[in-house]
Structure 1
C-alpha cells in the first residue's frame, strides 16, 4: 500500500471533486508548484492510487432512469459455480456493480434500466439465464438519496 502524505491527500480530494482540473488549476488549489504537482500526480497514477479518469454521466440524460438491486443466491457453492456466474455477469453492460456478499444472498447486483419494462426484458433475457442461479430477488430504487464516487481520504 502506498504511503500518502498530507499533500497527496489534498491532491486526491481535489481530483475526486473535479477530475478535469488542469495541472495549473490543481497546483493553485493545493498550494503547490506546477512541476511538483505534476510529479506527485504522475506518481499517484503510476502507483495505482489514481486508477483512471472517467466522465460521470447523468442517468436520465442517457435513458437509464431506473436502478434495481438484485440479490442472487446460487444453487452451488463451488469455485466453478462462482467463476461461471462472475464471467457471465461481466458480459451484461446494464450491471453496474456486482458484489459477492455474506448473508442471505451470494451476490448483490446494481442494475440500470430505462424503465420497468426494460428491466423485465433484461430479467427474462439475461438475468434469469445467468448460470447456477437458484433464487433471485429484485428491489427497485424509489429515489436516490445519496450517490458519490468520492472515497473518503483521511
Structure 2
C-alpha cells in the first residue's frame, strides 16, 4: 500500500525530475534530509511506482531529427480490433514519440520526429496511409517549440 506523499517526498520527486543524476548526498543538501533518509525515500518511491525510471534528455537536432510533426488520425472503422491494430502499429514505430487517443473529431494525435520532408513523406505515404486501420490523417509540421515537457507539476495535497 502506498504511503501518502509528504513535503519531503514531493521535493525529492521534483529534484529528481529536474536532475535524475543527483546522488543521495546532493538530494539531502537540497531538501534538508540525510543521505540515508533520501535513499530510503527514493527506494520507496521507486517501489511504489512514483518513479518509473531514469533517462537522459537527448538533443534531437544533434542526432539529425530536425522535424517534429503532429499527425491527427481518423480510423477506418471504430471497433476494438481496429484500435488494437493501430496501437500495435504506433508502438512499433520508433519515429512516434507520443500518441494519444482523443475524444472529438479526430481519433488520435501522434507526435513524430523525422529528419526531413522526405522522411515525413515516407512515414505518411508508406507506413501510415497504407495501414488497414487508418482512414484519414492530417499532418502539421511544428514551426517552433514554445515549451517542452520538463516534468509533471508536483502539487501539494
Fold equivalence (TM over 0.5): yes
The whole-number CA distance in structure 2 between the counterparts of 1:131 and 1:40 is 48
User: Deviations for 1:28-57, whole angstroms, at most 9, x for unmatched residues?
Assistant: 111100111100000000000000000010
Higher alpha-carbon deviation: 47-56 or 1-10: 1-10
2:125 paired residue number: 124
State the SS of the aligned residue for 2:111. Answer: strand
Task: Give 1:20 shift.
Answer: 0.6
Unaligned runs of 5+ in 1: none
The whole-number CA distance in structure 2 between the counterparts of 1:141 and 1:22 is 37
User: Deviations for 1:62-96, whole angstroms, at most 9, x for unmatched residues?
Assistant: 11110000000012111001111101111110001
- How many residues are matched? 154
Unaligned runs of 5+ in 2: none
The whole-number CA distance in structure 1 between the counterparts of 2:52 and 2:118 is 35
Report the TM-score, using the length of structure 1 for normalisation.
0.96
Q: Which runs of 4+ in 1 moved over 3 A?
A: none
Matched, 1:62 2:59: no
- The answer to whether the 8 Å contact 1:72/1:106 transfers is yes
2:44 paired residue number: 43
Mapping of residues 133-152 of structure 1, within 5 Å: 133-152=134-153
